[in-house]
């Protein structure tokens, strides 16, 4: 095989991002299933050699996803800025996809379905959230005003992004998405629901799904709580079996007026979906930290919930990726697949990418030197330090107990005791101290016995 042809397909990009912290105020259930001994090795499933196109991205060599559909939920306000990178990278890996939006069109050769097209006229004409939708259907995407469009959006308030008309409309998409998905792909076994700023670690996802029973009513994702409702966070990706989608769709179709009323009074469509599933007897299988609401650029690597340690867990998804981060992570993952499917020398390696693997192989190479026009979000501003340059700031950090990183700007020198890779930022230079990073890294310990797949924590 021509491995140099494979390498030519890999992309590189700057790495940076933002994080959403998702926490529950209730204790996780005590039921844990699906662990296997750490001593076992995972093997990446690949197609027969005769079926492999060596000119294709390495992710296309993987087997086992023939009955999987990846469902992208987006909107006209963001599709132009956020979808193209996926069409050029991640969508090259998925064997089957659906794209749902609030406006039907053919976008760069891909059919985009209006997921709200069958919502009743009464709802469309009377609900204020649909004002944007009505304009969109009349004028098309090109008729949207500039303030209705948005590209990269990193922050949201306690009740979402209510100043964005596309975001307010988004909550109405979840239940109709169940019925439209079934109409278009009635016979597939697994459905992975994502957003444009979601990154699915595809080589892991393919392996994990093969450990599950597609005949069961399954609903997996990163658990979030609003009031007493626990549901899968939409941006972190969530996975449903065919039978679970059928039950959610049936609940919605049996009384759409009821669910429209619930949606109107709520702000989170993923919560409404969780409510609907709960009425059918399907609870969320808690799957954090495999499904992750953060980004390797600045997430809390030490986060844990009882015995669940982010550091040791396999990685199935990340969230809040900007377009260039999608390209960067996709390139990294192609190298990972190439490493495991190439010369026999590498085939004994464990094929599972854990969060700590991402740190060692994706983050560490990006923090080896001082980086101009970059911030690592060092939080502690040194008093009266506006005169300090980046090297003086480094020296200050090296002499400061517990300091791991630093940044320098016109405001002065800032330091931090927790490691963050960071993101691009004009007028800032950021760096990390070798000794500080090494000491910080030692605090994690090992992952003996807790590094394999889990089928989740069954909801109590």
Residue 7: pLDDT band with limits 50, 70, 90: very low
**3 state SS of 427:** strand
Condensed to tens digits (0 to 9), the pLDDT of residues 411-458 reads 999 999 999 999 999 999 999 999 999 999 888 878 876 666 766 665
Condensed to tens digits (0 to 9), the pLDDT of residues 49-93 reads 899 998 999 999 999 999 999 999 999 999 999 999 999 999 999
The yes-or-no verdict on residue 29 having pLDDT over 60 is: no
**Calpha distance 237→292 (Å, rounded):** 8
The yes-or-no verdict on residue 114 having pLDDT over 80 is: yes
Cα first-last separation, the chain: 50
Residue 457 pLDDT: 60
Instruction: Tell me the backbone φ, ψ of residue 49, rounded to 5 degrees.
Output: -55, -30
User: What's the chain's average pLDDT?
Assistant: 86
Residue 459: pLDDT band with limits 50, 70, 90: low
The yes-or-no verdict on residue 13 having pLDDT over 90 is: no
Here the tokens at position 40 are 């076992």
Mean pLDDT of 227-247: 97
**Calpha distance 324→14 (Å, rounded):** 7
Residue 161: pLDDT band with limits 50, 70, 90: low
The yes-or-no verdict on residue 404 having pLDDT over 80 is: yes
**Calpha distance 289→432 (Å, rounded):** 26
Task: Give one DSSP letter per residue of 171-226, joined into a string.
Answer: GGGHHHHHHHHHHH-TT-SEEEEE-TT-EE-HHHHHHHHTTS-TTS--EEE-EEEE
Condensed to tens digits (0 to 9), the pLDDT of residues 166-188 reads 888 999 999 999 999 999 999 99
Here the tokens at position 191 are 């459905």
Strands (DSSP E) found in 214-257: 219-221, 223-226, 229-232, 238-241
The yes-or-no verdict on residue 369 having pLDDT over 80 is: yes
Residue 456 pLDDT: 62
- The region of weakest confidence among 4-13, 106-115, 137-146, 207-216 is 4-13
The yes-or-no verdict on residue 16 having pLDDT over 90 is: no
Residue 144 pLDDT: 83
Q: Which residues contact 144 (CB under 8 A, 6 or more apart)?
A: 76, 77, 135, 136
Q: Residues 61, 46: contact at Cβ < 8 Å?
A: yes
Q: Answer whether 0.75 is exceeded by the pTM.
A: yes
Strands (DSSP E) found in 280-347: 285-286, 304-305, 308-309, 317-318
Mean pLDDT of 384-405: 96
Residue 347 pLDDT: 47
Condensed to tens digits (0 to 9), the pLDDT of residues 305-346 reads 888 899 999 999 999 999 999 999 999 999 999 988 865 444
More confident residue, 451 or 254: 254
Above pLDDT 90, what percent of the chain? 73
Residue 97 pLDDT: 98
The yes-or-no verdict on residue 108 having pLDDT over 50 is: yes
* Nearest alpha-carbon partner for 274 in 365, 193, 372: 193
Residue 88 pLDDT: 98
Residue 44: pLDDT band with limits 50, 70, 90: confident
Residue 158: pLDDT band with limits 50, 70, 90: very low
Residue 163 pLDDT: 63
Residue 23: pLDDT band with limits 50, 70, 90: very low
Q: Is the dihedral of CA 117, 119, 121, 126 positive or negative?
A: negative
Task: Give one DSSP letter per residue of 206-221, joined into a string.
Answer: HHHHTTS-TTS--EEE
The yes-or-no verdict on residue 15 having pLDDT over 70 is: no
The yes-or-no verdict on residue 279 having pLDDT over 70 is: yes
């Amino acid at each position: 095989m021509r491995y140099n042809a494979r390498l030519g397909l890999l992309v590189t990009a700057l790495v940076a991002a933002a994080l959403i912290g998702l926490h529950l105020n209730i204790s996780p259930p005590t039921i844990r299933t699906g662990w296997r001994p750490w001593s076992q090795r995972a093997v990446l499933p690949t197609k027969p050699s005769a079926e492999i196109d060596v000119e294709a991205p390495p992710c296309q060599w993987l087997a086992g996803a023939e009955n999987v559909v990846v469902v992208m939920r987006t909107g006209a306000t963001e599709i132009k800025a956020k979808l193209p990178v996926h069409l050029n990278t991640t969508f090259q890996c998925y064997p089957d996809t659906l794209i749902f939006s609030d406006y039907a069109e053919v976008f760069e050769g891909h059919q985009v379905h209006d997921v709200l097209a069958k919502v009743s006229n009464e709802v469309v004409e009377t609900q204020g959230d649909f004002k944007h939708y009505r304009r969109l259907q009349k004028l098309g995407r090109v008729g949207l005003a500039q303030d209705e469009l948005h590209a990269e959006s990193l922050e949201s308030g306690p009740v979402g992004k209510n100043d964005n008309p596309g975001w307010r409309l988004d909550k109405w998409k979840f239940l109709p998405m169940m019925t439209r998905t079934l109409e278009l792909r009635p016979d597939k076994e697994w459905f992975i629901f994502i957003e444009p700023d979601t990154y699915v670690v595809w080589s892991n996802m393919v392996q994990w799904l093969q450990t599950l029973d597609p005949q069961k009513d399954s609903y997996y994702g990163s658990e979030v709580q609003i009031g007493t409702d626990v549901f899968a966070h939409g941006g972190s990706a969530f996975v449903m079996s065919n039978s679970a989608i059928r039950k959610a769709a049936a609940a919605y179709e049996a009384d759409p007026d009821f669910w429209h009323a619930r949606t109107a009074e709520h702000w989170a469509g993923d919560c409404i979906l969780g409510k609907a599933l709960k009425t059918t007897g399907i609870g969320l299988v808690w799957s954090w930290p495999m499904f992750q609401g953060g980004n390797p650029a600045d997430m809390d690597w030490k986060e844990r919930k009882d015995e669940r340690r982010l550091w040791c867990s396999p990685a199935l998804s990340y969230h809040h990726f900007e377009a260039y981060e999608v390209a960067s992570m996709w390139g990294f993952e192609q190298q990972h697949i190439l490493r495991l499917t190439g010369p026999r020398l590498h085939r004994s390696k464990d094929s599972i990418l854990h969060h700590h693997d991402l740190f060692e192989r994706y983050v560490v190479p990006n923090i080896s030197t001082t980086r101009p026009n970059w911030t690592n979000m060092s939080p502690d501003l040194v008093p009266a330090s506006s005169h300090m340059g980046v090297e003086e700031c480094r020296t200050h950090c090296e002499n400061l107990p517990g300091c791991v990183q630093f940044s320098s700007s016109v405001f002065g020198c800032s330091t931090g005791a927790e490691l963050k890779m960071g993101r691009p930022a004009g007028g800032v230079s950021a760096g990390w101290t070798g000794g500080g990073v090494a000491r910080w890294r030692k605090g994690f310990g090992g992952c003996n016995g807790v590094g394999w797949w889990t089928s989740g924590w069954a909801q109590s």
